[in-house]
Amino acid sequence: MEQLLANLYQFKCYIQTDNPIQITEDKPSGPWIRFTLRELAWWEYDNIIAKTFTKTQDTYEWTINSFMKKRLLLKEGLQRIEEWDNENIVSYDEDCYDLLPDTYGELLCEYYDNKVTISVEEIINLESQIRSYMDPSEINVIKPPYDRMIVELDIARRLGGYNRKDILSMSKKEMDKIFILGRLGLKIPFQQSLNDISSENGLNGIQDQELLDLAHQMIDFSPPPEFRKKSSEMNDAI
């Protein structure tokens, strides 16, 4: 699980050493410096932000020291620096932040700050995706993949007993089937109940009352009533 999350929250970017004016996520053709960074856990991020709050001298209002915030975030998030000179690669895994020249540091601070904080555009996009995700009529509509967190939270709230590793380990085809079958109204049992059924006793080992209890634990994948109501009202208005 740790390796899975490490891969999930790590990303790389490049600066071309011959022309260090911008950061790119594509490898440049000439000599480059590659930076490996990780997204911080929410509590790590909050701890850093807490250190950057300060009171203004004029109004005594609390504000964030943006300069300090960007540098503290980068210092915590920067994991590795690799430098390629067209022949060899030199890697640095310790004290990476202290090795950054000012020119690279300024670029990287701005890039990382934007990368790990949600933007207004992303919020608007999430809202649009949620409306589409919850609409049964959208099952067969071709669209870009939904944001990972939408799918994770939906599966987590509908399937009891599944942890994050279970959800992230599902294949693309399995996840597509769960989404489609759920939108078609199939009810899925809790993971614990699935484990009981697949045990050595099988269905023969489960008594009638246990089957009734199992049926009561089924999770309905259909859209929530409040969404169906809103959808119906919108259709009536049209």
Q: Count of CB atoms within 10 A of residue 37's CB? A: 23
pLDDT in tens, 173-197: 888 887 777 767 665 554 444 444 4
Q: How many domains does the chain have?
A: 2
Write 193-199 long-range contacts (CB < 8 A, 24+): 193/217, 195/161
Do both 91 and 173 map to the same domain?
Answer: no
Lowest mean pLDDT among 50-59, 120-129, 133-142, 228-237: 228-237
At 35 the pLDDT is: 96
Q: Mean pLDDT, the chain, as a whole number?
A: 77
At 5 the pLDDT is: 67
Alpha-helical runs (H) found in 79-186:
102-116, 120-133, 148-158, 164-168, 172-183
Is it the case that residue 207 has pLDDT exceeding 50? no
Do both 223 and 176 map to the same domain?
Answer: yes
Cα 44 to the center of its chain, rounded Å = 16
| Pairwise CA distance, residues 198 & 191, whole Å | 11
In terms of residue numbers, what domain contains 207?
137-237
| Pairwise CA distance, residues 65 & 48, whole Å | 11
Do both 80 and 184 map to the same domain?
Answer: no
Do both 163 and 226 map to the same domain?
Answer: yes
Do both 53 and 108 map to the same domain?
Answer: yes
**Can you tell me the mean pLDDT for 89-97?**
91
At 212 the pLDDT is: 45
- 70 burial (CB, 10 Å; 0-12 / 13-18 / 19+) is buried
Helix, coil or strand: residue 146: coil
> Is the residue at 123 inside a domain?
no
DSSP annotation of 137 reads G
Do both 102 and 141 map to the same domain?
Answer: no
pLDDT in tens, 152-165: 888 777 666 677 88
pLDDT in tens, 124-143: 998 988 888 888 777 667 67
**Can you tell me the mean pLDDT for 73-94?**
93
At 44 the pLDDT is: 94
